[in-house]
Amino acid sequence: MTIANICILVACALPIACAGIAKAKGLGKIDRPGGYDNREPRAYLSQLTGWRARANAAQANSFEALPLFIAAVLVAQQAQAPQGRTDTLAMAFIALRLVYIALYIANQGMLRSLVWFLGLLCCVAMFF
């Protein structure tokens, strides 16, 4: 398994981590007022505010970023691009996604958008 393939697995775990951050406040209070309701998780998540709401938004964006990233890695490998370059771009994408999530939760919109764009460039670069 290549480093880039491992990065695909990590990228798939990022939305789950964001969901955990968003739900953390209510997990200890399941079935109590203000607690997380696993029967209606979307209703619970829609009521979040502040950084927890932003963590949930980062979850959605992380899911949205997955198809392009996975396709970019697979296309690069199928085209027999230098594996070292593919690995480097995949690791850069993961690092940028981690920074992106942190900036999203911290409510740093302009920096977050810049980091998002750099992650996009990593994916586009893998196609070439």
User: Does the pLDDT of residue 104 top 60, yes or no?
Assistant: yes
Calpha distance 53→49 (Å, rounded)? 5
* Domains along the chain with CATH numbers: 3-127 (1.20.120.550)
Work out the number of other CB atoms within 10 angstroms of the CB of residue 123: 21
Q: What is the pLDDT averaged over residues 84-108?
A: 98
pLDDT confidence of residue 43? 84
Tokens 């940028």 label which residue? 96
pLDDT confidence of residue 28? 55
The predicted model scores a pTM of: 0.91
At 42-70, the pLDDT tens digits run 888 888 899 999 999 999 999 999 999 99
Q: What is the pLDDT averaged over residues 68-94?
A: 98
Tokens 């480097």 label which residue? 88
At 11-48, the pLDDT tens digits run 999 999 999 999 887 555 555 666 677 777 788 888 88
Instruction: Check: CB of residue 22 under 8 Å from CB of residue 59.
Output: yes
Residue type (1 letter), 118: L
